Structure 1
């Protein structure tokens, strides 16, 4: 969860700006703070930890932070008192699943939880696929199977993960926010990374939906590399009390899981 929060905070100032097309950019700016990625990630985490409704938590957190950069379609869904199940395939379903692989008992349960978390607003097959792809990649990373991510995620989703960050940097169109046009790219940014910061810089350098790409890439590499203390402190300091409360509860919950089953976890 920490890896996704920090990726969101670092990437937000560059979201939809003219693409930097370089990994050489200021990691933090005066306007570095969390966005909808972190808000909805907290909503999903709270629902999963306490057995609450994903939809109710998404709506509760979303309405509380309604001016924090939600996509037009999702914002309309939030504000509709007669809302029905949404069929979006935007990458919102993928950005918000990052806590679930840490809370699930198995890879299979990870897939089920990711699917369930997508359904209220992103029930389109591509929306579900994006959520599952990210959750599975994080889970494999947690299990020490980072080297298997490319093969297993490709087999499950059909995503093309054979491209390189350098090649994508000059070929990705702007304003691509669907799962199928941004989730594979974020995963590749993680797979090529040599550190947590490198993964985030890879993601932001692509331009486009920089904060969501960095959120996803950062979450995947967190178990592999950990998050540097300085980055963690800077990003956590931007959280509002309600989101920080969920994060702190998540840290305690996953520490208990670690004590119980001995799984290796870095900077939860």
Structure 2
């Protein structure tokens, strides 16, 4: 979960200013949390409290209305509590879903919860597929699955092609908000990585929706590599305010997610 937040913060300055390289500073003065973090924390809060996910998302949107929410999500917010779920296939559900992978003990439970937390705002098969693929990858990673096993499961069960090297994707990749155009590349960024930082650099180097790509890749990498390294986690933690820290700390503590930078 914290790997998702780290990817969002580091990727935030590159979303509209793509770097197309793995050589870039991890942080600068403009690095910040965006809607990716806000909604990831909303999912975590709903899992902790048992409240409806839509309620948690609405309340946190109210606290951070300028975090960069997309137009479809904002229209859902403006529609009020009884607004129907948009039939969206965007990457917004996949970016926020990682807490689900830590909150349940079986893959079947994770997949069911991923769907339940997705259809609130992304009631489209492609939106559900993308969120389930990410949740499954994080769950398998935290269970000790190898990269090969994660790749096989995602390709076999969700039909994503994870075979294309990032070096071939990067030159022509443009901004793509769809799950289909985001999730496979984010997972591939993890698969090519040597460590958590490398996964984030891989994802951001693709270009496009950099913070979301890094959010997804970071979530999987955290689970696989055993946490977010302190030189990344510390500066990210400093960029969270008290409400975001409080939920993150409770969720990570409850589910055994390592936070050694707070010792």
Asked if TM exceeds 0.5, the reply is yes
Please give the secondary structure, in 1, of the residue aligned with 2:135: helix
CA distance in 1, matches of 2:224, 2:187: 14
In structure 2, what is the equivalent of residue 113 of structure 1? Answer: 113
Residue 25 of structure 1: aligned partner: 24
Q: What residue number does 1:196 align with?
A: 196
Corresponding residue SS for 1:222: helix
Instruction: Tell me if the contact between 2:252 and 2:258 (Cα under 8 Å) persists in the aligned partners.
Output: no
- Residue by residue over 1:129-157, the C-alpha shift from the partner in whole angstroms, topping out at 9 and shown as x without a partner, is 01000000000100000321110011111
Counterparts of 1:156 and 1:229 in 2: how far apart (Å)?
34
CA distance in 2: counterparts of 1:23 and 1:175, whole angstroms: 18
Match of 1:64 in 2: 63
In the other structure, the counterpart of 2:37 is 38
Partner of 1:150: 151
The total of aligned residue pairs comes to: 257
**Any residues of structure 2 matched to 1:249-264 within 5 Å, and which?**
249-255=250-256
- Normalising by structure 2, we get a TM-score of 0.95
Equivalent positions of 1:1-268 (< 5 A) are: 1-17=1-17, 19-81=18-80, 82-147=82-147, 148-172=149-173, 174-225=174-225, 226-255=227-256, 266-267=258-259
Indicate if the aligned counterparts of 1:223 and 1:266 stay in contact, CA closer than 8 A. no
Write out the 4+ residue segments of structure 1 that deviate beyond 2 Å after TM superposition: 265-268
- Other structure's SS at 1:5 match: helix
Shift of 1:85: 1.6
Equivalent pair of 1:222/1:267 in contact (CA under 8 Å): no
Shift of 1:16: 2.4
Report the Cα distance in structure 1 between the residues aligned to 2:65 and 2:238, rounded to whole angstroms.
20
Partner of 1:159: helix, strand, or coil? coil
TM-score for the superposition, normalised by structure 1: 0.93
Displacement of 1:123: 1.0
Distance 1:183 1:8 in 2: 15
Aligned partners of 2:20 and 2:170 also within 8 Å: yes
Alpha-carbon distance in structure 2 between the residues aligned to 1:74 and 1:16? 19
Q: Is contact 2:72–2:86 with CA below 8 Å preserved after alignment?
A: no
Conservation of the 8 A alpha-carbon contact between 2:8 and 2:215: yes
Q: Within 1, Cα distance between the matches of 2:31 and 2:233?
A: 13
Paired with 1:49 and 1:184, the residues of 2 have a C-alpha distance of 29
Shift of 1:63: 2.2
The residue number in structure 2 matching 1:258 is none
Structure 2 gaps of 5+ residues are: none
Mapped to 2, the partners of 1:20 and 1:230 lie a distance apart of 21
| CA displacement 1:95-126 (0-9 Å, x = unmatched) | 11111111111111010111111011101000
**SS at the partner of 1:169?**
helix
* C-alpha deviation, 1:224, in angstroms: 2.1
In 2: Cα distance, 1:251 partner to 1:157 partner: 28
> What root-mean-square deviation, in Å, do the aligned CA atoms of Structure 1 and Structure 2 show?
1.2
Q: Distance in 2 between matches of 1:171 and 1:266?
A: 37
- Residues 44 and 54 in structure 1, CA contact (< 8 A), matched pair in contact too: yes
